[in-house]
């Protein structure tokens, strides 16, 4: 009989011996080798270029369109693959990822030479020159004239009064802004009422004294223009040797002052007929001639004596018989007083004979009748001659009284001789000019 089964205590199971695993390989770093990819991509690029050259397509390569859209296709000539893993980005910079700058905005409108060349190649057209555009020269010049600034300093302008203020007048002279004329520049003398002197709409002529400011306004003057015209008029009178009448307005230690054409003139005491009592001339009118007219220095010097001389010269002419008294005897001749002015009787013009001393002919105070042979108003010189009144040479030395008594008849004959001699001299000059060989023009 079988005995009771005695259960044995549970023994710990022996650990299972697991199968030995194969030793793990060390982690390998993925190495990206682009040699094959580069070679393949280069061949692909060359193939695309060959196809593009064979076809006459005007559209740019796909790679260029990608670049224009901001998608970089290559880096330093090496195409970039778009399906790379993160591990494939080793050695790729941020510039490669971002690509070239966005040129889409400048496409077709860039001003750089490179972009313009690309645009021209993209459009298949040549660069356009200025002649290719519509250009109207007349319209261009008209635009320049229309926008030309008005009112250069020293320029005379015309316009109409548009407004009158307490400090000046505004005149429309055709510029961007009206010209402004200050009250003190509105004219010569004192102006009591600007509104009466310059009513609205009055046409005036002004001188620009200051060019445009930031607002386009110029400064103008009626007074400056009037003074300019006055100086021009006086210079013309001076060149013609004219005399004028002035009213003495004041005096000082050196002379008297006057107003002439809005200008202040000065007459030195030495140029007055009555220089000792010059203060008594205030308010009187006298005739004067011009000694100096200088707009640059604003000097206007006048002379009463020069005016009297000019009046005398206006009554004299060459060949005229005049009489006067010997005022002075000099080694070179006699000074003859002709009524406040002297004429010179040179010793060579006294007689056709010979003499040892001038006093053998005339003495101080003697009455002398002589003929005028030369006039110089600019220097106030009058040249006299008594030898023309003689019959035989030296007659005036022997019969001086007879020559002086018959001076009028003798002068008439002398004038005829002078006139004949003058005509002969003119004919000789004309003959000499005709005989001179004429130079042929050099071709």
Rounded CA separation 417/345 (Å): 20
Phi and psi at residue 419, in whole multiples of 5°? Answer: -65, -40
Contact of 271 with 243, CB cutoff 8 Å: no
- What pLDDT is stored for residue 112 in this prediction? 45
- What pLDDT is stored for residue 267 in this prediction? 94
CB atoms within 10 A of CB 281: 21
- Torsion angle (degrees, nearest 10) of CA 303, 309, 312, 313: -110
Phi and psi at residue 329, in whole multiples of 5°? Answer: -115, 120
**Residue among 209, 206, 211, 198 nearest 222 (CA):** 206
User: Mind listing the domains of the chain with CATH numbers?
Assistant: 82-124 (no CATH), 156-226 (2.40.50.140), 241-310 (2.40.50.140), 316-424 (2.40.50.140)
Each residue's pLDDT, cut to its tens digit, for the chain (443 residues) gives 445 555 555 555 555 554 455 555 555 545 455 566 677 777 887 887 777 776 644 445 555 444 544 445 554 555 554 554 555 555 656 656 555 555 444 444 444 444 454 444 444 455 555 555 555 677 766 665 555 556 677 888 888 999 998 888 999 888 777 889 998 888 887 788 888 889 999 999 888 888 777 777 888 899 889 899 999 999 999 888 788 999 999 999 999 999 998 899 999 999 998 888 888 899 999 999 999 999 989 999 999 988 888 787 878 888 889 889 999 999 899 999 887 678 999 999 998 888 888 888 899 988 999 998 888 876 778 899 998 898 888 888 888 889 898 888 888 888 888 788 778 877 877 777 777 665 554 54
The residues, ordered by sequence, that sit 6+ positions from 48 with a Cβ below 8 Å of its Cβ are: 61, 62, 63
- What pLDDT is stored for residue 416 in this prediction? 84
The residues, ordered by sequence, that sit 6+ positions from 246 with a Cβ below 8 Å of its Cβ are: 258, 259, 260, 265, 285, 286, 288, 302
Contact of 114 with 121, CB cutoff 8 Å: no
């Amino acid at each position: 009989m079988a005995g009771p089964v005695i259960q044995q205590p549970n023994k710990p199971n022996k650990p299972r011996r697991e199968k030995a695993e194969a030793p793990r390989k060390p982690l390998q770093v993925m190495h990206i080798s682009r040699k094959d990819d580069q070679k393949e991509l280069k061949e692909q690029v060359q193939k695309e270029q060959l196809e593009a050259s064979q076809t006459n397509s005007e559209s740019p390569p796909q790679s260029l369109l990608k670049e224009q859209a901001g998608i970089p296709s290559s880096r330093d000539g090496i195409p970039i693959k778009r399906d790379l893993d993160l591990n494939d980005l080793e050695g790729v910079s941020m510039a490669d990822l971002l690509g070239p700058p966005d040129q889409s905005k400048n496409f077709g409108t860039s001003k750089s030479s490179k972009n313009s060349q690309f645009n021209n190649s993209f459009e298949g057209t040549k660069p356009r020159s200025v002649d290719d555009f519509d250009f109207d020269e007349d319209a261009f010049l008209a635009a320049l004239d229309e926008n030309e600034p008005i009112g250069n300093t020293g320029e005379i302008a015309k316009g109409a009064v548009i407004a009158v203020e307490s400090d000046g007048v505004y005149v429309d002279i055709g510029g961007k802004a009206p010209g402004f004329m200050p009250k003190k520049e509105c004219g010569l003398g004192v102006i009591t009422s600007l509104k009466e002197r310059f009513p609205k709409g009055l046409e005036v002529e002004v001188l620009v004294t200051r060019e445009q400011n930031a607002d386009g306004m110029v400064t103008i003057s009626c007074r400056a223009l009037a003074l300019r015209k006055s100086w021009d008029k006086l210079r013309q009178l001076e060149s013609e040797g004219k005399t004028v009448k002035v009213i003495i307005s004041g005096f000082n230690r050196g002379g008297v002052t006057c107003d002439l054409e809005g200008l202040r003139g000065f007459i030195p005491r030495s140029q007055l007929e009555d220089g000792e009592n010059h203060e008594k001339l205030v308010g009187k009118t006298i005739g004067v001639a011009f000694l100096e007219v200088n707009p640059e220095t604003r000097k206007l010097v006048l002379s009463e004596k020069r005016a009297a001389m000019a009046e005398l010269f206006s009554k004299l002419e060459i060949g005229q018989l005049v009489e006067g008294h010997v005022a002075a005897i000099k080694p070179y001749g006699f000074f003859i007083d002709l009524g406040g002015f002297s004429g010179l009787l040179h010793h060579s013009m006294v007689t056709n004979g010979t003499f040892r001393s001038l006093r053998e002919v005339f003495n101080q105070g003697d009455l002398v009748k002589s003929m005028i042979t030369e006039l110089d108003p600019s220097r106030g010189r009058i040249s006299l001659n008594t030898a023309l009144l003689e019959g035989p040479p030296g007659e005036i030395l022997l019969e001086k009284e007879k020559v002086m008594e018959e001076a009028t008849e003798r002068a008439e004959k002398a004038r005829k001789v002078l006139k004949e001699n003058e005509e002969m001299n003119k004919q000789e000059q004309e003959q000499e000019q005709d005989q001179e060989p004429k130079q042929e023009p050099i071709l």
